Structure 1
Amino acid sequence: MKALPLVIAILLVASPALGAVGPDAVSDQQSVFDTASPAQAQAQQVPNETIRVLDIPESNLVQATVESQHVDLGPSLDLAALRAGGQIQTGTSIERIESASDDSIRQQLIIDELSRIEQRAIALQSTQRTVIERFNQDQITARELLVELARIDAEARSLNERRVELRTLASNTPDFSIDSGRLAGLERELDTFTGPVRKHAVAVMTGGAEPTRFSVRTSETGVVLSVVADGKYIREAYRSDLRDRDQSTVMYEEALGIVADNYPTVYSSRSAQNGTNVISAGNSHRVRINYNGGQLSAYVDAGSGEVFKESQARPLRTVTSGTPKTEVKDGLSLTAYQTYPGGPLRIQLNETETDDPVDANVTIGLEASQESTLLGHTGTDGTIWTVSPSGPFTITVIKGNSAVVLTSSPTPIPGLETNTTDQSNSTPDEQLTATPEGPPGV
C-alpha cells in the first residue's frame, strides 16, 4: 500500500446516545480527513480511461445493455404511493412513540421500530438479489429492472428517514440510548440500495428529468448503472461478491490507502482543502474524494478489504475525450471518441470543408442488431453525449441529402487493481465533515 502524504487524522468519538442522522449532525463514526498539497490540487486533466471504475469482469458479466427510459405513469404512481406510504408509516410510528404513557414503553417502542427497519433492510437485500437474478434470466426487461431498482432506492431512502427520526427520539428520551454503531451500521446497510443513477431514474420516470439512456451491466449478484444527465457523467456499481461479512480486519485508517491504490488519478488530483474523508460504520468504510474532475465515493469492505460499491459524478466539461474514430462522407465528418462500456461517449459532427459544427439528428444501434435508437440532435456545437454500449455499435447521421455512418467499439474497462479478477468472498453516520455534500448516494 502506498504511503499517504499530508494526512491529518481526526478520530471523532460521539456519545453512544447519538446515532447517524445526516451530514449536518455530530458524527458517531470514525473520520479521517486528508488534505492535498497545492501541487496535487493543480493536477492536469487526464484521459478518460485513467479514471478507474468499479465494474464487472468480462468473465462474470451476464447481461449488458443500454435502455432508454422516459416518464412512465405506472411506476410514477407506484413511487408516489411508496413515498406517501413511507411518510404515513413514519408519522404513525413517531406519534405512537411520543404518546407512550411512560419512558419504559417509549424505549421499547423505539427498539421495536428500529428492529423493523433492520428486518426490512434484510428483505430489501433479498429483493435486490432476486430482481438481478430475474433480469439475468430474461424474466424481466432492462426497463423493468430499472423500475425495480428505483423502487428499492426510494424505500431505502424512506427507511433511512425513519431511522433518523428514531435517533432523534432516542436522544430525547431520559436515561436511554441506542448503540451508535447499530444506527450507523443500519444507515450504511440502507445505503447499499441507493445510488445517484437510481435516483435519476426515479426523476425520469416521474417526469422530473428528461428521457435518457441508461447503461445496465450485471453479474450474478452485482449491478453497474451509468447515465449522462444534467451535464454530468454519473455511475454507480455494487458487487456483493466482494464482501466478507464474517470478519472485520480492515481498519478505517487503511481504507484511504486502499482507495488511493485503486484510484491513483483521482487521489492525486484531490482538492487542496478537505478533499477527502473516510467515514466508518458497520462493516464498511466510505471514502469520499472531491477532485478536479468530479466526486468519488468508494466503499471498502472491512472484511475483504475490497472496494465493493462505488459512485462517481463527473461534469462533462472535465471529461477528457477518448481515442477518436472518424468517418467522412457527403461533406460530413462524424467522430466518436471511444470509451469503455457504459462510459461517457462523445459524438461530434462537423462540415468537412469548414469544420463548422453541424446540428443534426443522431441514431445509435448495436452492430449485431437491426434496431437503432434516436439519441437526439447534436445542437449548435455539433456535440451530443451518451453512454457507450458494451459491444460494437453503429452511429448514423442524416442531414438533408447527406448521410454518414460510423462503426465503433468500446475500449477496455479501466478496472480497479484488486477487482479485475473473479472473487467469491461473500456470505449469503453521521459525519462531522467539512467536505461539501454531493447529491445523495454520490
Structure 2
Amino acid sequence: MRALPVVVAVLLLVVPVAGAISPAAGSESPAVVQASGPVAVDSADPVVVDPVAVGSADPIAPSRPQTGPSQIDRANLTFRTLSAPADADPRVSSALRGANLGPALSFSVDDADAAAETAAVVDRIENAETNTERQRLILAALSQVERDEVSLSSRQSDVFSAHASGNLSDRELLNELVRISATAREYDHRLEEIDALSEETDGFSSPTRLDELQVALQVYEGPVRDLALSTARGERSATEIHVESTASSVTLAAIVDGEYVRETFRYDRWDRGGGPISNDRAIEVTTESYPETAALRQPDAFGAGAVQRITIPHEYGLLRTFVSGGTERVFVEHQRIDLDDFPDTERVAATGDGFNVTVERSYVGGPVTVTVLDEETGEPAPDVTVTKSVGGGDSRAIGNTNDDGVVRTLSPAESYRITVVDEPRVVVVDGLRPIPTPRLVDDE
C-alpha cells in the first residue's frame, strides 16, 4: 500500500478579513440604493459564472475525467454533505488565512524532529546484529506508531472540543489540525519505511495491521488542511476558510481554483474499537449515503480492517469518504465540486443604481456567487468591489468582480448582506440567509 507523500507543515496565521467600505460608500451615502427586498429568481435561469482562481499552486487531489456521457439530470443534481450533528449548536466562523514566517520556522523544527525520529527508527532496524533482533525492532516500531495514532486521535478530539467551547481560536484550531495532518503523514511515511524493511528481512513479511494502520492515519488528512498549509507557506494568496465545530466534529471549507473544497470529521460516527468492514460493504454505505454522487460513477474502495476509504472521482469533482467498521457509517468526508456546476443554490436578485446584482445563496459554509451586470447593457461589470456583512456587523470586502462580473465568498450561518460598491454607486442586497444543508441520507 502506497502512502501519500510527506508534506512539511507550518503554522498558520489568521488575520481579520480586511477591507471595510469607506464612509463614502456606506449606507449613509445619498447614492446608496437599497433593494426593496430580495427577489427570488427561477433556478433554471442561466447566469454566466467563471471560477475565481486563488493562487497558482496545483489543484488539490485532481479527479479523473469522466468517461462517456453523463446520464444524470443536472437540473436535479445535488451533492449531499457530511455536516455537524443535526442536534448540535456548532460554533461557526470564517477567517482569511495568510502566511507567517515566524510560526512557519518554528513549526518546521517540529516537523524536522518527527522526520529525524523516522530516520532513527530506520537506522536501528538496518543496524540490527541478528535477523531475530531486526524482526523485533520492526514489530516494536509498528507498535509505537499504533500508540502514536491513538494519541493523535485523542489530541484531535480535544482540539475539536476546545474550539467548540470557545477555548481555542480559529487560528489555533487550524494550526493544530495542520500539525496533526503533518504528523499523520510522517507516521504514514514511517510505515512505508517499515514495510520496505520488512520485505527485505529473511523469513518475515509485513504484518496485516501495517496496512490497516496506514488507512487509519489518512483520516487525519484533508484537502482544506492542505490548502491552509500551502497558503501558510506562501504558495497561495490569502484564502477565506469556513470553520464549523462541535464537541465531536469539525467542518472546514474554502473556494480555490474554481472549486468548492470541503472536509468534515465526525467522531460520533466512528467506532474505534469496532470490527472490520469489507470493501463491498463500505461501498454500499457510501452509495446509500450519497445516492446522487454514487450514480455519477462507480466508487473505488481502498482499505483494510476497521476503516475503508471510498473514492468517487466524477465529472463535477471528487468525493472521498472514510467508513467505520464499527458503526458502518461515513465519519470523514472530503469533497471537491466545480463551482460552474455547483447545484445547491438559490438565487436572489436586486436592481438599482445602474447594476443588476444576483446572489446565488447556498448552505452554511457553502459557496455564494455574486454576479454584477450593467443594468442598461446587461454586460458584466468587472473590478467592482463587493462586501459582506454578517448579522448586522461591519461590512468587509470579499473581493472585486472578475471580467465576468463575478466574485465568490462562503455562506455564513446568520443573516447577511451583500453590498456592491462602485463609488458613488452602491447597491445593497439585504436579508440573505443560507439555504438548508443537503445532509446525508442517514443523517437527515
Q: Tell whether the structures are fold-level matches, with TM greater than 0.5.
A: yes
Show CA shifts across 1:154-196 (max 9, x none). Answer: 111111111111111111111112322x112211221121111
**Contact kept? 2:259, 2:339, Cα under 8 Å:** yes
Q: Which residue pairs with 1:108 in the alignment?
A: 136
Q: Which residue pairs with 1:261 in the alignment?
A: 288
Q: Which residue pairs with 1:75 in the alignment?
A: 103
Displacement of 1:65 in angstroms is 1.2
Q: Which residue pairs with 2:349 in the alignment?
A: 326
Displacement of 1:282 in angstroms is 2.5
**Contact kept? 1:294, 1:315, Cα under 8 Å:** yes
Q: 2:74 matched to 1:45?
A: yes
Q: Which residue pairs with 1:160 in the alignment?
A: 188
Q: Which residue pairs with 1:149 in the alignment?
A: 177
Q: Which residue pairs with 1:95 in the alignment?
A: 123
Aligned-partner residue type, residue 232 of structure 1: E
Displacement of 1:321 in angstroms is 6.6
Q: Which residue pairs with 2:270 in the alignment?
A: 243
In structure 1, C-alpha distance between the alignment counterparts of 2:440 and 2:343, rounded to whole Å: 19
Larger mean Cα displacement after TM superposition, 75-84 or 229-238: 75-84
After the TM superposition, which residues 21-420 of structure 1 pair with which residues of structure 2 at under 5 Å, given as runs?
Answer: 21-22=2-3, 41-46=70-75, 50-180=78-208, 182-248=209-275, 250-270=277-297, 275-320=298-343, 322-359=345-382, 360-368=384-392, 370-407=393-430, 408-420=432-444
Change (3 A) 1:159 1:46: farther
**Contact kept? 1:340, 1:413, Cα under 8 Å:** yes
Segments of structure 2 that go 5 or more residues without pairing to the other structure are 6-65
Change (3 A) 1:381 1:196: same
In structure 1, C-alpha distance between the alignment counterparts of 2:260 and 2:67, rounded to whole Å: 27
**Contact kept? 2:357, 2:373, Cα under 8 Å:** yes
Change (3 A) 1:155 1:250: closer
Aligned-partner residue type, residue 142 of structure 2: L
1:60 counterpart SS class = coil
Equivalent pairs, count: 382
In structure 1, C-alpha distance between the alignment counterparts of 2:260 and 2:318, rounded to whole Å: 11
In structure 2, C-alpha distance between the alignment counterparts of 1:389 and 1:255, rounded to whole Å: 33
In structure 1, C-alpha distance between the alignment counterparts of 2:403 and 2:67, rounded to whole Å: 40
2:220 counterpart SS class = coil
In structure 2, C-alpha distance between the alignment counterparts of 1:304 and 1:403, rounded to whole Å: 52
In structure 2, C-alpha distance between the alignment counterparts of 1:88 and 1:37, rounded to whole Å: 44
2:74 counterpart SS class = coil
1:226 counterpart SS class = strand
Displacement of 1:120 in angstroms is 1.4
Larger mean Cα displacement after TM superposition, 57-66 or 200-209: 57-66
- Identity over aligned residues, as a percent? 29
In structure 1, C-alpha distance between the alignment counterparts of 2:215 and 2:106, rounded to whole Å: 25
- TM-score between the two structures when normalised by the length of structure 2: 0.81
1:248 counterpart SS class = coil
**Contact kept? 1:82, 1:154, Cα under 8 Å:** no
In structure 1, C-alpha distance between the alignment counterparts of 2:236 and 2:103, rounded to whole Å: 14
Give RMSD over aligned pairs.
2.1
**Contact kept? 2:276, 2:305, Cα under 8 Å:** no
Segments of structure 1 that go 5 or more residues without pairing to the other structure are 1-19, 25-35, 421-442
Displacement of 1:332 in angstroms is 1.6
In structure 2, C-alpha distance between the alignment counterparts of 1:168 and 1:365, rounded to whole Å: 54
Change (3 A) 1:23 1:190: closer
